[in-house]
Amino acid sequence: MTVPPVPHAEVTVDLTAIRDNVSRLSRAADGAQTMAVVKADAYGHGLVPAAWAAKAGGAEWLGTAVLAEAVALRRAGLPGRVLAWLAAPGEDYDTALDEDIDVAAYAPWQLEEIAAAAGRTGRPARVHLKVDSGLGRGGVMPAEWDTVVEHALRLESARALRLVGVWTHFAYADAPGHPTIGTQLEVFADAVERAELAGAELEVRHAANSAATLTLPEARFDLVRPGLAVYGLSPIPDVATAAALGLRPAMRLAGRVALVKSVPAGHGVSYGHTYVTPRPTRLALVPLGYADGVPRHASGTGPVHVCGRTFPVAGRVCMDQVVLDVGDADVDVGDDAVLFSDGRHGEPTAQDWADAAGTISYEIVTRISGRLPRRYLGAEATQPGRRQQSDEARHHQRTEVG
């Protein structure tokens, strides 16, 4: 057996953090069921290991945007309910129904394609109808709602589908108290009532993302759909840190210092010389760059933690590397350079990188490249059949999707 080489950089995912965050969220759901959202390769953490960890934390449901990820969950043996909510014409609904996946609809063409798949497979679909209560993205406009509900109920009478859910999504859940929240709740309640008056026997009404799960009890209904908080990041960073919300970031991104060298004062650093050394100093090269998902917008600002100290990236973020001005700090080749982690020992967090790049922590973790190996901690506690597994065997690449 070959031992994998020590990687120049890697992503470590603590699956026990995902498990514990999900149990924290399902306590917050306070009687409602919990759907752990694992879209986008579980926000970059690895679809299948993250999904098992969410199950270990008590998630009754798993949610994805694209159908291919929902199918990948089933093929990996994940049990329970799985909802996929994004579809384009020609979507492979046959496979969705064969794999017992719940599907979403917000347009008549979708209902027709779903019903046709039900006819071919002999499996009635479980459909969640989405109302645009004010996000202005997917969903049926309230003016069209009764027509689309009737359409769905006609197909239900023909045994092509079961209308099991009505759902919506907030525009401003991350700004607790924002006036649109109350308006969206009213539009949603009205849509639910109209569907039920028309004869729908709904199993679940759902609206809450992470922020609403944590801050808006009246939005919990029968099921909550947290995503970001599952991975331990704060959905309301202006209001509360992850730690204050009882969450622990699961992802750590680190490279290993590949070169340390002395340079004179006035030495331009990296493309465009946007940083020039103010004094004689030492530069450390870290083999992580924008091709790995490090945002180039964090040039000159992104924080990197080495040997107990945090240095901003000196100059531009390159495709595969960044440079730090480490001065006389005790930094050596081979040292761990942590871009983000759970922050418990003073390292930066994904939120710090989001602030440095002028974006949100969602984008920081989802953009980390598949070329970096993922190392999973806590697999024996969260993954079925993994109790005997060695460290080497747990050192595997990002989950394949689609």
Ligand X SMILES: *Cc1c(COP(=O)(O)O)cnc(C)c1O
Shortest Å distance, C-beta 54 to ligand X: 13
Nearer to ligand X among residue 218 and residue 392 (C-beta): 218
Measured CA angle at 167 (ends 118, 159), to 5 deg: 25
Catalytic residue among 55, 130, 172, 271: 271
Half-sphere exposure of 101 (CA within 13 A, CB side): 32
Shortest Å distance, C-beta 26 to ligand X: 14
How far is residue 369's CA from residue 126's CA, in Å, rounded to a whole number?
34
Nearer to ligand X among residue 219 and residue 269 (C-beta): 219
Provide the phi-psi class of 58: left if phi over 0, else alpha when psi is between -120 and 50, else beta. left
How far is residue 77's CA from residue 382's CA, in Å, rounded to a whole number?
14
> In this structure, what token pair is assigned to residue 346?
């003073």
Provide the β-strand partners of residue 66: 86
Nearer to ligand X among residue 209 and residue 299 (C-beta): 209
Nearer to ligand X among residue 55 and residue 375 (C-beta): 55
Sequence-ordered list of residues with C-beta below 8 angstroms from that of 172, at least 6 positions apart, any chain: 178, 180, 181
Catalytic residue among 39, 106, 231, 362: 39
Shortest Å distance, C-beta 191 to ligand X: 15
Is 261 considered catalytic here?
no
Distances (CA, A) of 278 to 62, 266, 269: 52, 6, 11
How far is residue 84's CA from residue 95's CA, in Å, rounded to a whole number?
12
Nearer to ligand X among residue 165 and residue 293 (C-beta): 165
Shortest Å distance, C-beta 355 to ligand X: 18
Nearer to ligand X among residue 209 and residue 383 (C-beta): 209
How far is residue 394's CA from residue 378's CA, in Å, rounded to a whole number?
10
Is 39 considered catalytic here?
yes
Alpha helices in 57-107 (DSSP H): 67-75, 93-98
Site of interaction with ligand X (CB under 6 A)? 37, 39, 85, 169, 209-210, 225-229, 235
Shortest Å distance, C-beta 113 to ligand X: 20
Assign 113 to helix, strand or coil. helix
Length of the chain: 402
Shortest Å distance, C-beta 169 to ligand X: 4
Closest CB to ligand X belongs to which residue?
227
How far is residue 288's CA from residue 324's CA, in Å, rounded to a whole number?
12
Residue for token pair 């530069």: 283
Assign 104 to helix, strand or coil. strand
The answer to whether 126 and 161 are in contact (CB under 8 A) is yes
How far is residue 304's CA from residue 302's CA, in Å, rounded to a whole number?
7
* Per-state percent for the chain, helix, strand, coil, to nearest 5: 35, 25, 40
Nearer to ligand X among residue 131 and residue 313 (C-beta): 131
Assign 271 to helix, strand or coil. helix
Shortest Å distance, C-beta 8 to ligand X: 30
> In this structure, what token pair is assigned to residue 141?
């406009």
Catalytic residue ranges: 39, 271
